[in-house]
Structures are given as structure tokens and as C-alpha cells.
Amino acid sequence: MVNRSRRGKRITGGHSTLIEGLDKFLLKLEEWPEIRTIQTRHFTKSRKSSRSGTLNFRATRWEFLGNRKVGVRCIATQGTSNQVVILTSDSLDQLETRLRKEGLCDNIH
């Protein structure tokens, strides 16, 4: 079951639980014209705590559908909570440029 959010870019994909602070951050990302959809994926808890309790969001690698790049896989962490977020775009080069400009990625593999 796929549920779209109030603005139409966010797709929950059955995972409506979000880590603390992620909802507010995703509202800002929904305003970016480079992003077509935002998909929130699985939510996990790790045993190892991050250094801070603040939200950390990093683009980590390309997301593929078959052999075609369709977006960027990101990891959001806060304390011991982790969540995967997929950002899709019609222009991946512009999305990558914007993520770098905002300081949200170093290298996408």
C-alpha cells in the first residue's frame, strides 16, 4: 500500500513511523523542485549511539531500478535510530548538485 503525503511528494510505502525530527526536515525537502518523490523506508534501532541526539541526514549512494539510476538513497540518523529515505528526481545531476550545495553528501557511489 502506498500513501502520499499532504503535499504529494512523500510516499510512505507502509512505513509511517519516522525518526524524531525527520518529518520537519522532509517538509523542507518537499519544497525542492529537483525532487520528484520522497520515499521513507525501514526504521531501525542500532546498539551503537551516534555522537549527538540531533538529526543527521546524508546521501549515501544511487538508487537503481534494474540497471537505471532513479534516485539517491539517504540515511537519516538520530541517536540510535536509523531510517532509509529515497529521493527520486527527473534530473539526478541537479539533485546531486543541490545535495552537495546544502552539505548533505560528499560522494554518492
The string of pLDDT tens digits covering residues 89-102 is 999 999 999 999 99
- Specify burial of residue 101 (Cβ count, 10 A radius: 0-12, 13-18, 19+): exposed
- What is the model's pLDDT at position 1? 41
The string of pLDDT tens digits covering residues 39-89 is 998 888 876 655 667 899 999 999 999 999 999 999 999 988 899 999 999
The string of pLDDT tens digits covering residues 1-43 is 445 544 578 887 666 678 889 999 999 999 999 999 999 988 8
- What is the model's pLDDT at position 65? 92
Cα–Cα dist 29/6, whole Å: 14
